[in-house]
Amino acid sequence: CSTSSAALAGCGHRNRDHDPEQALDDQPATPVRSQDAAVLVAACLGLFTVFVQTTQTIGTLSAVQDDLRIATADLVWIPSIYTLVVATFVLGAGALADRHGRRRVFLAGVVAMAGGGLVLVVADSLSTVLVGQAVAGLGGALITPSSLALITHQFADPKRRAGAISAWAAASGLGLAIGPIIAGLALRSWSWHAAFWFNPFVAALAGVVALAFVAESRAPGHRLDPSGLSLGAVGMGALIYSLIEGGNNGFGGGRSLITALAALVALGLFVLVELRHREPMLDLRLMRDPTYSASLLLAATVLFGFVGVSLLQVLWMQRVGGLTALQVGVELLAEFGTFIAGSILAGILVRRLGPRPLVIGGLLLAAAGAALFADVSPADTFTDYAPALVVFGLGCGLANAPSTVLATGHVPAGKEGMAAGTVNAARQVGAVLGTSILGTLMTTRFEDRLATAPRMSPQAATGVAFTDAVTHAVAIGAVVLLTGALLALGLFTVAQHRASRRPSGITSLDRALSG
């Protein structure tokens, strides 16, 4: 691990100073196995709700639109406001977790997630739905980095930490898989409101486990960085808004360009402030480590492909295959199920191989799966495209957790929340880029192909044009995944070259993981 600190969390060591409170809070006394399990269960349940909220919202959109008579132009902001709030506050939430307590921030997150779900249960207007989504988004922003920080703090041993992070990553895939099924069951038997009862229940369960069994941990020597928190939130919020607005209405539009400029200014000031701050919210000097920089790039690339391509698959299944929300959810189990299996397998293999080959191999496999789906035709059935779903999900699962292991393993002790917030901010940016860019490519291509479609029935012409547009955008997603793997390979090569020129006293994370 490359850092100037005396000891590194990723290498199984802990910083120590003479502050009694610091020693008390970060003392890594040999953990009890039951407490390890409790931390992992609470963290996984919390992250599970974050991703359930994403896909169950998408699954209920048509019913919400019909019930509340929402214009199509406004409908897109129901899932987007959730993503916007998560991405805006996730970076600062990691720093708050380090300073004020990881369990405390986690509990605040599950309360907000449950509160947002309850607002959606009683929502009777677009504004109420947006409020519920925004509150749930705040919960997601608080839960995501704090749950990961709880794990990285609790599991000091690199091998056990890698396995725990893989289980944590698998929980996200399980949430994505369960969300559409919950939405489909609710729409089949009740109303769309019923789908949102699920998350408050699971969030409450996560909160009970955390309160009863998870000890508080923090790095009290760290001071808050108000300037960094504010500029980071404004910059990330403006960036994500610009991407969402551009994806919906074109990147050349006035609002997209203005918010992109605001994001550029705010993030530029953020960099200047953080470089001058004695205790920055985000230690930009860590970016000098090629492995850490590669981990952020990889985290963004995996989510770019996974979320972006998955959304295109859902749209194709609904518009061309004519499937209901429940049927789509069941078919996507082939992809999300192998994503979970890949995450679990990564937790086992990372102890033997280290994270780097798994990330690169996973991205290459995901690119192959996306390329397979890019060959789908309007007449294809589930048996025709199931292999593509399986290969794509497995590849993303293999790459997702190890990229997070790399990021959290290359920071000093006491900055687990910062690392968690940073890598999850990268993941959110990647996810939004995937949906906005691939969605825009698909929409533009569809309009062009529909205008030049051969003479046939309107339904057949739409199916052909939409399939061509989806496969075109999925092929671009495959290229992005492949490019990410090649760029990561280059950065890893640079890091290995640097490590070979250093004294042997510093041990790399991969060496620690591989024993």
Contact 86, 57 (CB under 8 A): no
The CATH number assigned to the domain holding 61 equals: 1.20.1250.20
* Residue 489 located in a structural domain: yes
Please give the angle made by the CA atoms of 237, 246 and 80, to the nearest 5 degrees: 55
- pLDDT, one tens digit per residue, over 477-506 is 999 999 988 887 887 777 677 666 655 444
pLDDT at 325: 76
One domain, residues 326 and 428: yes
Specify if 221 maps to a domain. no
246 and 346 assigned to the same domain: no
Token pair listed for 143: 């839960």
Tell me, what amino acid is at 273? V
Do 243 and 312 fall within a single domain? no
Q: What pLDDT shows up at residue 372? A: 94
**162 and 198 assigned to the same domain:** yes
Residues paired with 412 in a beta bridge: 8
Say if residue 332 is in the same domain as residue 472: yes
- The answer as to whether 27 is a domain residue is no
265 and 305 together in one domain:
no
Of 216, 234, 249, the one marking the end of a domain is 216
Are residues 238 and 171 part of one domain?
no
Q: Say how far apart CA 401 and CA 358 lie, in whole Å.
A: 9
Identity of the residue numbered 399: A
Whole-model pTM?
A: 0.75
Neighbours of 327 (CB within 10 A): 16
Domain boundary among 216, 237, 259: 216
In a domain, 387, yes or no: yes
Is there a domain that residue 427 lies in? Answer: yes
pLDDT along the chain (515 residues), means of 10: 31 35 38 75 93 85 85 77 83 79 92 95 91 93 88 80 83 83 84 90 94 81 71 83 75 82 89 77 70 80 87 86 84 88 84 83 93 91 93 91 72 62 77 79 80 69 85 93 85 70 49 42
155, 93: one domain: yes
- Which amino acid would we find at residue 347? G
Q: Are residues 452 and 330 in the same domain?
A: yes
Specify if 3 maps to a domain.
Answer: no
Residue after which a domain boundary falls, among 280, 307, 323: 280
Q: Would you state the pLDDT for residue 185?
A: 87
- For the chain, the first-to-last Cα distance in angstroms comes to 14
488 is in which domain, residue-wise? 286-515
Nearest CA among 371, 393, 335 for reference residue 478: 371
> 344 lies in a domain?
yes
Residues 443, 402 share a domain:
yes
* CB-count burial class (<10 Å; 0-12, 13-18, 19+) for 501: exposed
Considering the domain boundaries, does residue 11 fall inside one?
no
What is the pLDDT at residue 411?
60
Can you give the pLDDT at residue 26?
43
The angle at the Cα of 297, spanning 334 to 291, to the nearest 5 degrees, equals: 115
Beta bridge pairs of residue 8: 412
- Is there a single domain that holds both residue 62 and residue 151? yes
Domain count, the chain: 3
Q: Which tokens hold the place of 427?
A: 């993941």
Q: How far is CA 448 from CA 32, 245, 439, 466, in A?
A: 61, 21, 14, 10
Alpha carbon distance 458, 463 (integer Å): 9
pLDDT of residue 226: 78
